[in-house]
């Protein structure tokens, strides 16, 4: 028999992944060009040319024993130093290599820092809509998820409710901006107010509250929007970053944590995160990809590609009468379902070979997520299906 905890995890396994697997079956049956799979945030844009060049250079020039061998659990010193210098240059920070821990993607980084911080029963606040895997990550370490309900007018965090839900058991708050699934960027005003709330609660309760920022979409922003860098606004901020989206490398599983010296008990937190990296079984982040990303710190993915898709999908659905806010970042459109049960709407969409994800997967029922990191042709070819749905559900 499998572990009791796993029974529910298997039963409630990611609807996004299930939809993705179903999409592959449908593509084999109907032809990939006739299936409009908007389920998974799997970049359709190739990695920048610098990535391929860096891979070649490392394989040709580096000693293979060194390149494919072990290093410190936190990663190569030169890689961490290069990343710290890049962050400092971009955001006016003052990090050193000791503040960077290389991780197996952002998901690996979140698991490392939650393993580092959580005792059983500690509470971690998340702000709906949010990436559903946070539930599992917190549960891995016997923490408790506390959900702040969504603000469906702007999808900025409901700060009044956040303040009300902070207790003496609150160990961390996880935020994700640009946000999956809405594409909203949390404004500087929002971040400043959130920081003030957390500081006030720390003082009131005599505890430390860590603000963990999950940032795989930081570079995917539009219309000149800037994403605030949290460590400049709050002392107990920890950043989790991934190159999955910024360099189109989701399968390579490479990212990092930033743990500033200003964090409470920073030396202990950094030391514990290094040990957590090892004992969780990662041991270290992939060695080749560490070296590769260090050579690609100024490389940029093709954001105009995503912007073209954003404009086409947003404008197309708005013209058909669907309700949605225009994404400021990431590559998701969060659309209000024309019926209360958004799962019924997703099922109807499937009849037109359109695969979209119910908002209940993000603790925000009544909405659906559409991932537009697909080909432009997929978006345009899906429009007759969306038009048929608009007519079926009498969208006006």
- The answer on pLDDT for 14 being more than 70 is no
- Region 323-351 average pLDDT: 97
Q: Quick one: pLDDT at residue 253? A: 98
Q: Quick one: pLDDT at residue 30? A: 80
Cα 97 from chain centre? 24
Q: Which carries the bigger pLDDT value, residue 47 or residue 34? A: 47
3-state SS of the chain? CCCHHHHHHHHCCCHHHHHHHHHHHHHHHHCHHHCEECCCCCCCCCCCHHHHHHHHHHHHHCCHHHHCCCCCCCCCHHHHHHHHHHHHHHHCCCCCHHHEEEECHHHHHHHHHHHHHCCCCCEEEEECCCCCHHHHHHHCCCCEEEEECCCCCCCCCCHHHHHHHCCCCEEEEEEECCCCCCCCCCCHHHHHHHHHHHHHHHHHHCCCCEEEEECCCCCCECCCCCCCCHHHCCCCEEEEEECCCCCCCHHHCCEEEECCCCCCCHHHHHHHHHHHHHHCCCCCCCHHHHHHHHCCCCCCCCHHHHHHHHHHHHHHHHHHCCEECCCCECCEEEEECCCCCHHHHHHHHHCCCEECEEHHHHCCCCEEEEECCCCHHHHHHHHHHHHHHHHHCCCC
Q: Which residues pair with 202 in a beta bridge?
A: none
Among the listed residues 241, 239, 238, the one whose alpha carbon sits nearest the alpha carbon of residue 220: 241
Q: Quick one: pLDDT at residue 396? A: 75
In the chain, % of residues over pLDDT 70: 98
What does the pLDDT look like over 116-148, one tens digit per residue? 999 999 999 999 999 999 999 999 999 999 999
- The answer on pLDDT for 22 being more than 80 is no
How many Cβ atoms from other residues are within 10 Å of residue 226's Cβ?
9
Q: What are the backbone dihedrals phi and psi of residue 28, each rounded to the nearest 5 degrees, phi first?
A: -65, -30
83: tokens are 């990343």
Determine how β-strand 123-127 pairs with β-strand 170-176: parallel
Q: Which carries the bigger pLDDT value, residue 16 or residue 207? A: 207
129 preceded by cis ω (within 30°)? yes
pLDDT band at 32 (very low <50, low <70, confident <90, very high): confident
**Among 3-12, 267-276, 342-351, the least confident range:** 3-12
pLDDT band at 19 (very low <50, low <70, confident <90, very high): confident
Mean pLDDT score of the chain, rounded to an integer? 95
What does the pLDDT look like over 62-113, one tens digit per residue? 999 999 999 999 999 999 999 999 999 999 999 999 999 999 999 999 999 9
Q: Quick one: pLDDT at residue 49? A: 97
pLDDT band at 15 (very low <50, low <70, confident <90, very high): low
pLDDT band at 47 (very low <50, low <70, confident <90, very high): very high
What does the pLDDT look like over 340-393, one tens digit per residue? 999 999 999 999 999 999 999 999 999 999 999 999 999 999 999 999 999 999
Cα 134 from chain centre? 10
Q: What is the CA radius of gyration of the chain?
A: 21
Q: Which carries the bigger pLDDT value, residue 263 or residue 12? A: 263
**Among 27-31, 120-124, 152-156, 258-262, the least confident range:** 27-31
Q: Quick one: pLDDT at residue 7? A: 81
Q: Which residues pair with 148 in a beta bridge?
A: 127
Q: Which carries the bigger pLDDT value, residue 217 or residue 40? A: 217
- The answer on pLDDT for 12 being more than 70 is no
């Amino acid at each position: 028999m499998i572990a009791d905890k796993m029974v529910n995890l298997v039963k409630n396994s990611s609807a996004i992944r299930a939809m993705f697997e179903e999409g592959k079956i449908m593509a084999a049956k109907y032809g990939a060009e006739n299936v409009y799979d908007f389920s998974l945030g799997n970049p359709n844009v190739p990695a920048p040319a610098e990535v391929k060049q860096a891979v070649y250079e490392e394989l040709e020039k580096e000693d293979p024993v060194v390149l494919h061998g072990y290093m410190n659990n936190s990663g190569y010193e030169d890689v961490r130093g290069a990343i710290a210098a890049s962050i400092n240059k971009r955001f006016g920070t003052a990090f050193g290599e000791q503040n960077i821990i290389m991780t197996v993607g952002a998901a690996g980084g979140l698991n490392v820092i939650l393993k580092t911080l959580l005792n059983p029963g500690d509470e971690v606040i998340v702000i709906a809509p949010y990436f559903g895997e946070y539930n599992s990550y917190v549960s891995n370490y016997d923490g408790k998820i506390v959900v702040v309900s969504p603000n469906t007018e702007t999808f900025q965090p409901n700060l009044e409710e956040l303040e009300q839900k902070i207790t003496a058991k609150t160990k961390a708050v996880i935020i994700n901006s640009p946000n999956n699934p809405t594409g909203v960027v949390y404004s500087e005003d929002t971040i400043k107010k959130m920081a003030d709330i957390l500081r006030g609660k720390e003082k009131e309760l005599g505890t430390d509250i860590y603000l963990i920022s999950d940032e795989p979409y930081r570079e995917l922003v539009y219309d000149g929007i800037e994403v605030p860098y949290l460590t400049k606004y709050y002392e107990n901020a920890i950043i989790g970053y991934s190159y999955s989206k910024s360099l189109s490398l989701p399968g390579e599983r490479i990212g990092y944590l930033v743990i500033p010296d200003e964090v409470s008990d920073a030396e202990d937190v950094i030391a514990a995160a290094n040990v957590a990296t090892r004992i969780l079984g990662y041991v270290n982040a992939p060695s080749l990809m560490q070296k590769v990303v260090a050579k690609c710190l100024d490389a940029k993915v093709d954001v105009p590609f995503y912007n073209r898709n954003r404009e086409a999908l947003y404008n197309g659905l708005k013209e058909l009468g669907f309700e949605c806010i225009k994404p400021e970042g990431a590559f998701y459109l969060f659309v209000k379902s024309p019926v209360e049960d958004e799962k019924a709407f997703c099922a109807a969409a499937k009849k037109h070979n359109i695969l979209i994800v119910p908002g209940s997967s993000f603790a925000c029922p009544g909405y659906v997520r559409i991932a537009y990191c697909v080909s432009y042709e997929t978006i345009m070819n899906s429009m007759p299906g969306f038009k048929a749905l608009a007519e079926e559900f009498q969208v006006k």
